[in-house]
Structure 1
Amino acid sequence: MDDQDKFSALSNPTRRRILTWMKDIPDAFGKSAGDAREDVCISEIQRKTNLSQSTVSAYMAALERAGLVTSERRGQWTFFRRDEPAISAFARKIAKEL
Structure 2
Amino acid sequence: DHLQEYHADIECGNCYEHFFSINSMEEHAEEICEYRCVQCKLPSCNELVKWRELAIHNLSNQHQIGLLQFIVQYSRQGDQRSHNVDEELRNILQN
Could you state the TM-score of these two structures normalised by the residue count of structure 1? 0.24
- Return the structure number with greater relative CO, CA threshold 8 A, min gap 6: 1
Larger radius of gyration: 2
